[in-house]
Amino acid sequence: MTADSIREDLDHIHRLEIISIMFEGGHAYISTNSIARAITARTCLLSRFKYKDSRIEFYPDECDQPLPRIAEKKSTRQTPPSDKAATFSRINRYALLADPTQDDDDAE
């Protein structure tokens, strides 16, 4: 098993990019551009006779970093006073849709 043979076996997977292949301690570490495509690549390799006896697992992402904390800003919004009751407008918002040539009495 070589890096070139692994790349060749995974070449047919659409939009899969092999970032790097490292061999260390009898293990091959393959870095790809996408987790979803890595799952497809794993399934594909396990379906080939050449890799049938291999154990293919995932290892921690090298780029895995916690997101930086965002400093909480004080809210600039003012809360409405709770002692005032909400006021509602009694304007008919559908009045613009009414046909001005038609009287209200004709609608009945």
One-letter amino acid of 48: R
Give CA–CA dist 40/11, Å, rounded: 12
pLDDT of residue 53: 83
CA quadruple 26, 29, 35, 40: dihedral positive or negative? negative
C-alpha distance from residue 66 to each of 61, 62, 72 (Å): 12, 12, 17
DSSP letter, residue 41 = H
Give CA–CA dist 101/95, Å, rounded: 13
pLDDT of residue 82: 61
Give CA–CA dist 74/76, Å, rounded: 6
Give the pLDDT band of residue 17 (cuts 50, 70, 90): confident
pLDDT digits (tens, 9 = 90+) for 27-84: 888 888 888 888 898 888 888 898 888 888 888 877 788 878 887 766 666 666 665 5
pLDDT of residue 27: 87
The residue ranges of every structural domain in the chain are 3-51
Pseudo-torsion of CA 50, 24, 67, 14, nearest 10°?
A: -30
pLDDT of residue 89: 66
